[in-house]
Amino acid sequence: MEPTPNLPAIRALRPAWTKGRIVGQKRPLKPKHVWAIRVRLELAENHRDLALFNMAIDSKIRGCDLVKMKVVDIMASGQIKERASVLQSKTQEPVRFETSEGTRASVEKWMEDEIMIGSEYLWPGRFHERLHISTRQYARIVRDWVTSIGLEASAYGTHSMRRTKVTQIYKKTGNLRAVQLLLGHTKMDSTVRYLGVELEDALAIAEAIEI
C-alpha cells in the first residue's frame, strides 16, 4: 500500500474582519450631535434612552460599568445626587462624576416608569433572567442614536459616549490632569493616548502657521 503524500492544507480565504469598517478609536460626539440626539429622544418620549444617554455623557464611565449602574449609586433620600461614584470593574478603583440638571431631570422621569418599581439596577433588562441591559444591547442602542441623526455607525461606539465630554473639557481648558481624574485613569500616558491630544495639539499648531 503506497503512503499517502502530505499535501498542504487548503484554507478558505475569508475577508479581513476590518474590511469596510473604521477601526481604531471611536469618535467623540460633537455638541451639536449631543443636542440633536437629545431632541429626538425627547420628541419620541423615550425616557429610558434619554436618561441613559445623558448619564453616559455625564458619567464618562465605560459601557460595562454604565449598564451595571444601580439605583443606589445615583440616588439618596429620594433625590438624584449631584455628584455620584461608581467602582470601575477594570481597575477596581472608584471614579466620581457630576450629574447635570438635565441628567437629573431625565433620570427622575425614568424612575417614574413602572418597570423601575423595586428595580435594583438603573437600566433593568427586559427579561426576567437578565438583571440589567447587556453591553451588547447598549452598543446597539448607541448605534441607533448615532444613525438617527445621520452619522456613520462604524465611526462611533460606546466609547464615543465616554470620550465626548472629556474631549470638550480638554479643548476648553487644556487640563490633562482633570481629564485623567474624570476618566479614572491611573497613568497620564493612558489619558494622552485615549484623547490623542498630542496629534490634536500638533494639528492645531500647524493650522495656526501660514507660509
- CA 73/CA 80 separation, integer angstroms: 9
Q: What does the pLDDT average to over 37-56?
A: 97
Q: What does the pLDDT average to over 156-166?
A: 92
pLDDT at 18: 41
Q: Is the pLDDT of residue 35 over 90?
A: yes
| Distances in whole angstroms, Cα of residue 180 to Cα of each of 46, 145, 151, 159, 174 | 32, 27, 28, 15, 12
DSSP string, 81-92: -SEEEEE-TTT-
pLDDT at 38: 97
Q: Is the pLDDT of residue 133 over 70?
A: yes
For residue 59, give the C-alpha cell.
Answer: 458619567
pLDDT at 6: 57
Contact predicate 125/134, CB 8 Å: yes
Among 2-11, 64-73, 77-86, 141-150, the minimum mean pLDDT is found in: 2-11
Question: What percent of the chain has pLDDT above 70?
Answer: 80
Interstrand relation of 75-76 and 79-80 (parallel, antiparallel or unpaired): antiparallel
Dihedral sign for Cα atoms in the order 8, 14, 17, 20: positive
Among 1-5, 75-79, 136-140, 188-192, the minimum mean pLDDT is found in: 1-5
Q: What does the pLDDT average to over 114-130?
A: 84
Among 29-33, 81-85, 207-211, the minimum mean pLDDT is found in: 207-211
Helices 135-148 & 31-43, crossing angle to 10 degrees?
Answer: 100
Please report which confidence band the pLDDT of residue 24 belongs to, taking 50, 70 and 90 as the band edges.
Answer: low
Please report which confidence band the pLDDT of residue 129 belongs to, taking 50, 70 and 90 as the band edges.
Answer: low
pLDDT at 127: 63
Assessment of whether the complete model's pTM goes beyond 0.85: no
